[in-house]
Amino acid sequence: PKIKWDWELLASMIYQESHFNNEAIGWGGSFGLMQFMPTTGKRFGVNEFSSPEANIKAGVKYIKHLEKMWINSVPDSLERIKFVLASYNVGPGHVKDAQRLAKKYSDNPSLWKDVGYYLQHKSEPMYYKDEVVKHGYCKGYVTYDYVNEIYERYEHYKNIVAENQLAKN
């Protein structure tokens, strides 16, 4: 409720991050259910020894922080979720770079399909060396897939919940 997301969406994100394993350690040093990097975890009050509950609460705080970051430039709440997810994964700087590229090339900087296109291509010199790009190279295609996989799983989770509710009736 604090981020106005369905629980199935948050659960899909947690699965994508850690497969629901609070002991998970990522290749870059990320940890816990929400796979915080150490600096971000410290900022939001968690470390690799934090409980699952503390990890989720910190993740929700971080999601709220990212939501506020995007609220003015992405007015549609459903579109904004995709920008938040991408920012959670790769950092908001790279997503803002892709947004600037979309604007430069006359695409809509408030639509994920347009911004996602440029994020996917931020590993190509034509894009990451562009004058509007401030954060350089990134494997944005990984982040693009991350967002899509979370949404695909979210739809499956919603269908399972709906089927279970029908079976109860």
Q: What are phi and psi of 14, to 5 degrees?
A: -65, -40
* Crossing angle of helices 7-18 and 140-168, rounded to 10°: 130
CB atoms within 10 A of CB 131: 7
From 17, 23, 131, 149, the catalytic residue: 17
Tokens of 29: 């040093």
Q: Is 149 a catalytic residue?
A: no
| 25: three-class secondary structure by DSSP | strand
CB atoms within 10 A of CB 166: 8
C-alpha pair distances (Å), 131 with each of 57, 75, 124: 38, 26, 14
Distance separating alpha carbons of residues 143 and 91, to the nearest angstrom: 10
Give catalytic residues, as residue numbers. 17
